[in-house]
Chain A
């Protein structure tokens, strides 16, 4: 074989290998970002990350299953850097699957100025999130409260009768988060050093 032809064959070989690896590279980079929506869909279908629906759901009309009683617990949490309080008097409820109940929560802005916040729900065990329906919830939108303002807001929910038998207790956690994720605020906060709390 002529050494020259050989050289050429190697060159084309190298070029082919490089372009193929570049395609794989680009594919994997896109794949990494595609995993984000895939993960969300996966979790929505399986309820794996304990997130509940972000908008109002209708009641499922079914007979109440009075043979079972489930304990539903409510936990509320604030965030550092947000002078808000979220409370409820109902720490715990005993409900039958199929029954719909209302719980009242109280928001209070203890800061001076107005601010925006949102209560983000999480359910555990996560399997229960597929069977928890919220007919009304303050968590569907963000809240704006002036300094010192209070707000009472209801949660109306139902555990559907197909809740798996092994679930006896469902815990619903609401965490308050400040809503301030705009570009300008981030940088202003950064400069005024107030953001790192």
Chain B
């Protein structure tokens, strides 16, 4: 495959247009203190990414425990109570610890570079929002060794499982989620302030790269729903410790209210995890198709409509709680409506590829896999949106298959595509080609082996969140577990690629990819600590 790739751009015909090449600040602290106190968007971005990768592996180990137990029917390795803690912690860590911080890390690194800003608008706040995360997740992980064990009520923490019947560690879980939430909110404020105020002179909103656009919209979603999450967990805290009855039927409360509040946060939250991914893919595909993105404006409007619609569909997670018929119909149709702007996006990516001169560098491989596999997840979502059908599918492995398709070869592949795309900018070296290709192909095979059979198991009626299952599901589960081990192991290759790339490798020029047109490619590779201290000259392209 390597031989089919076009030659890399050479340094000769590249020049560095970007702002100052100022050397590192003269009085910067060294060693640990440098990382603890840094206010530099690139260093903070790196911290976020390292944190996210760590969480990805911790959450991944929990997933391996789950898949090892489910390898065969019967109880072999762990007790059901511990199994429940594993599913819960896996979900919480992947959502709040791996995917969200990875996107914030990419935003920290790339948003200022893509809009020609010297740094984030609020650098010190930036430092604070990062360091909240290790505290939050250390606390969350510490619940594993507490008496009564870690949270065991699923990542959706439905009351009264998470209140009346919750383990004592739940208060720590609430506190750590509060911290992670505050971190996201502060990050979002920072990103909005940066994008709205720090663009290079001459860059209008409709000139911004799509990664910036999608992050701006994501940040608004965060501002709108993270306070609702904070409200819900505060109500849980009050119910558990202070005898209120928000969700307690005995005292006049209503557990179904919990689900409404949770999903009012929860559905926009799933878009928080996918909109930045759309942005990454929308900058990578044009680069390697060597064409302008097809339908730039429609991409922006589609993203905005998805964000707005995402507030009107929450009860598609609650079709079976006993909604009245009108509500079933409303949420069914509004959910299906979201597929329209999503379809516009997929259409635009494919049209961008049409008649492009495409080459298949590692970032492009991941981006293309994203388009195909995310679409599969979108289709299973549409099946779930059919309310009468969801009575059958709900709480089965079909739902698990759906959201893993949109989140793993969706969000996670997009993050990896972004990492491969920008590694030359961060380190000054291209990632090792052969290893990257191995990583890609093993991941694609692993992901599909893991999650595709889940569709069948779910349609056949296998419930989710169980440590043991009926014999008829044994074959599907064995394939799934083997796929999961393969996928898990191949992520070690990813770590190897990143470490090798930091250490050395083929040197990358400023414009590391021939088709890269955004501002980040105008600063040297590796990007110096300080860039665009004087704003760059921005010439709008005709989108």
Contact = CB atoms under 8 A, between A and B. Distances in A.
A181 B168 contact: no
A181 B228 contact: no
Interface in A123-180: 124, 126-127, 175, 177-179
Interface string A26-47: 1011011101100110010010
A84 B246 CA distance: 24
B189 A190 contact: no
B26 interface: no
B104 to A, nearest CB: 16
Given A13-B196, A13-B197, A179 B227 contact: no
10 contacts: A10-B198, A14-B122, A24-B223, A33-B231, A51-B254, A175-B249, A178-B250, A181-B250, A181-B251, A186-B241
Interface string A1-31: 0010010001001100110011011101101
B248 A181 contact: yes
Contacts of B189: 17-18, 21-22
A83 to B, nearest CB: 16
B246 A10 contact: no
A43 B260 CA distance: 13
Given A13-B196, A33-B231, A181-B245, 10 more contacts: A3-B534, A17-B197, A24-B224, A29-B228, A29-B230, A32-B227, A35-B261, A39-B254, A120-B250, A182-B243
Q: Name, among B197, B198, B235, the residue most crowded by chain A CB atoms within 10 Å (CB to CB).
A: B197
B22 interface: no
Given A17-B197, A21-B189, A186-B241, A28 B224 contact: yes
A127 B243 contact: no
A134 B256 CA distance: 24
Contacts of B248: 181
Interface string B211-231: 000000000000111011011
B227 A25 contact: yes
A101 interface: no
Interface in A63-119: 79, 118
A49 interface: yes
A184 to B, nearest CB: 9
Interface of B: 121-122, 148, 168, 185, 188-189, 192-193, 196-198, 201, 223-225, 227-228, 230-232, 235, 241-243, 245-246, 248-252, 254, 256-257, 260-261, 264, 322, 324, 534
A114 B243 CA distance: 21
Contact of A32 (B198, B250, B252, B261): B261
Contacts of B232: 32
| Closest A-B pairs by Cβ, 5 of them | A32-B231, A177-B250, A13-B197, A28-B227, A29-B227
A21 B390 CA distance: 37
B243 A39 contact: no
Q: Which of A13, A24, A28, A49 has the most CB of B within 10 A?
A: A28
A28 B122 contact: no
Given A17-B193, A29-B231, A36 B246 contact: yes
A49 B148 CA distance: 33
Contacts of A190: 168
B185 A25 contact: yes
Contacts of B188: 21
Given A18-B193, A39-B254, A183 B228 contact: no
A1 B232 CA distance: 49
A17 B192 contact: yes
Main secondary structure of the interface of A (DSSP, over half): helix
Nearest to A179: B250
A126 B121 contact: no
A25 B223 contact: yes
A183 to B, nearest CB: 6
Contacts of A50: 322
A31 to B, nearest CB: 7
A65 B231 CA distance: 47
A179 B252 CA distance: 11
B223 A28 contact: yes
Contact of B324 (A17, A26, A127): A127
A126 B322 contact: yes
A59 interface: no
A17 B189 CA distance: 8
Contacts of A124: 322
A186 B166 CA distance: 13
Contacts of A181: 243, 245, 248, 250-251
Contacts of B534: 3
B328 to A, nearest CB: 12
A126 B324 contact: yes
A124 B232 CA distance: 27
A39 B252 CA distance: 13
A36 B235 contact: yes
Contacts of B185: 25
A31 B250 contact: no
Contact of B257 (A26, A36, A126, A182): A36
Contacts of B242: 183
Contact of A28 (B228, B250, B254): B228
A26 B250 CA distance: 31
